């Protein structure tokens, strides 16, 4: 009898060409993010012929993050240090061209106002500038006053947990309320793995099949490798021969949409708020790969 052969699913490398940019907070309130895969190699999934099927059900989950839009507020110590450094740099710096011009022109004005002013002695500068440097400075000041900055922190949006525009200085993670077994739990969106697809495709499917997701989240997955795993053994009463429990593989993705669809069953939470909604064992595993800077 021929020995059973097992072939691993062969995945060629994904070569990506990404462009990330931070735009002004004003209009979008979000970071633009675009990625075009130049040659996304087709994933060759060969059929895996295994004799022994594992007793674990495989599930892929997606950890969708909204990156921070503005930089975090400075610690008071950092603020003091920054001010000190600015002061030091100002004291050590040389006078710039514009400042030299201002000084020259103020000198010239004071000489003009003196009684013994002789315009012939003024020197070889034939053409007097139309716009004095001081006038230019005043015009710039006016422009600055007219410019409206968007607020960094809006208290009411911050309290709304379903909005993706809250807490612009932190990174937010998407949590969905899903039915697992008999109860409804808050967890990172997940679906079960099906034959013939890669785990990353399962994670993409999980994101697309979210209930509040009519338009679809535009997300970019960072790589094919999962970032974390959570093992869940079913209670002994429910365990059978073929199912001992579930293994959940987490994939990281970045939200590239500025206005994602909102729904009451989807929450955007910071890392410290996640603990209130996740089960302790689950949250322990999830905390390991969630980076909070």
Partner 1 sequence: MYPVLRKVSITQQAFVLNPALTVCRARPSVQHPVWCTDSVNERQYRSMPTHGIGRWKYLLPKRQSKEKKKKGRQMRPIVAATDTAYGTLNVMVSGYDMTLVEHYSQYIHNLCHRLGIKVSESYALPTKSTEVMLMQEVGTKMYVDAVLKTHERIVQLSSLNTTLCPVFMEVLLKTQPEGVQLSVNEHTEDQFKARFKARPELEGLIAQINH
Give the H or E element holding residue 177. Answer: strand 172-180
Give the x-and-dash track for 174-213 against partner 1 (CB under 8 A).
----------------------------------------
Q: Among 62-70, 74-82, 98-106, 276-284, which window interacts with partner 1 (CB under 8 A)?
A: 62-70
Candidate ranges 13-21, 108-116, 147-155, 231-239; the one touching partner 1 (CB under 8 A): 13-21
Among 1, 3, 5, 13, which residue sits at the site for partner 1 (rule: CB under 8 A)? 13
Pick the binder of partner 1 from 9, 22, 198, 247 (CB under 8 A). Answer: 22
Kindly tell me which of 89 and 116 has the beta carbon lying closer to partner 1. Answer: 89
Tokens 């514009």 locate to 98
What is the DSSP annotation of 193-242? --TTS-HHHHHHHHHHT-TT-SS---EEE--SS-SEEEEEEPPTTT--SS
Question: What's the closest the beta carbon of residue 75 comes to partner 1, in angstroms?
Answer: 16
Task: Tell me: does residue 293 bind partner 1 (CB under 8 A).
Answer: yes
User: Does residue number 127 form part of the binding site for partner 1 (CB under 8 A)?
Assistant: no
Note whether 223 binds partner 1 by CB under 8 A: yes
* In the block, residue with structure tokens 């909070």: 292
Helix (H) or strand (E) holding 180: strand 172-180
Q: Give the Cα separation of 220 and 34 in Å (integer).
A: 8
CA–CA separation, 289 vs 293, rounded Å?
12
Q: 240-279 mask for partner 1 (x: CB under 8 A)?
A: ------------x-x-------------------------
Question: Is the Cβ of residue 15 or residue 142 nearer to partner 1 in the bound state?
Answer: 15
Give the separation between CA 293 and CA 171, rounded to whole angstroms.
Answer: 8
Residue keyed to tokens 């069953």: 265
Check if the beta carbon of residue 234 is closer than 8 Å to that of residue 245.
yes
- Whole-number minimum distance, CB 235 to partner 1, in Å? 34
The piece of 14-22, 43-51, 96-104, 183-191 that touches partner 1 (CB under 8 A) is: 14-22
Strands 56-66 and 245-255: parallel
Task: Determine, following the binding rule CB under 8 A, whether residue 67 of this chain makes contact with partner 1.
Answer: yes
Instruction: Say if CB 260 and CB 217 are below 8 A apart.
Output: yes
- 115, two tokens: 């009684």
Per CB under 8 A, the segment of 12-20, 43-51, 116-124, 185-193 that binds partner 1 is 12-20
Exactly one of 9, 45, 56, 68 binds partner 1 (CB under 8 A); that residue is: 68
Q: Quote the crossing angle between the two packed helices 97-113 and 133-146, to the nearest 10°.
A: 120
Please identify which residue in 5, 8, 21, 149 interacts with partner 1, judged by CB under 8 A: 21
| Cβ atoms of residues 186 and 173 within 8 Å | no
Closest CA to 165 of 180, 154, 176: 154
The count of residues interacting with partner 1 (CB under 8 A) is 26
Say if CB 202 and CB 193 are below 8 A apart: yes
Enumerate binding residues for partner 1 (CB under 8 A): 11-13, 15-22, 65, 67-68, 70-71, 171, 222-225, 227, 252, 254, 291, 293
């Amino acid at each position: 009898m021929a020995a059973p052969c097992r072939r691993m699913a062969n995945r060629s490398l994904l070569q990506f060409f990404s462009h990330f940019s931070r735009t002004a907070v004003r209009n979008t309130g979000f970071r633009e993010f675009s990625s075009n895969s130049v040659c996304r190699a087709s994933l060759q999934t060969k059929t895996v012929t295994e004799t022994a099927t594992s007793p674990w059900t495989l599930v892929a989950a997606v950890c969708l993050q909204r990156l921070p839009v503005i930089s975090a507020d400075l610690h008071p110590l950092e603020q003091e240090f920054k001010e000190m450094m600015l002061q030091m740099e100002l004291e050590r710096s040389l006078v710039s061209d514009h400042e030299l011009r201002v000084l020259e022109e103020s000198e010239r004005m004071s000489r003009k106002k003196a009684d013994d002013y002789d315009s012939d002695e003024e020197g070889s500068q034939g053409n007097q500038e139309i716009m004095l440097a001081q006038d230019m400075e005043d015009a710039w000041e006016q422009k600055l006053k007219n410019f409206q900055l968007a607020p960094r922190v809006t208290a009411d949006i911050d309290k709304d947990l379903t909005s993706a525009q809250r807490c612009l200085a932190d990174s937010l993670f998407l949590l969905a309320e899903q039915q697992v077994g008999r109860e409804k739990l808050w967890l990172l969106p997940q679906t079960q793995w099906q034959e013939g697809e890669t785990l990353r495709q399962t994670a993409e499917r999980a994101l697309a099949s979210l209930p509040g997701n009519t338009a679809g989240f535009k997300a970019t997955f960072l790589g094919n490798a999962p970032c974390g795993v959570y093992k869940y053994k079913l209670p002994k009463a429910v365990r059978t021969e073929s199912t001992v429990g579930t293994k959940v593989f987490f994939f990281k993705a970045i939200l590239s949409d500025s206005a994602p669809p909102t729904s009451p069953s989807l929450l955007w939470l910071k890392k410290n708020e996640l603990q209130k909604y996740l089960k302790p064992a689950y949250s322990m595993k999830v905390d390991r790969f969630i980076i909070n800077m």
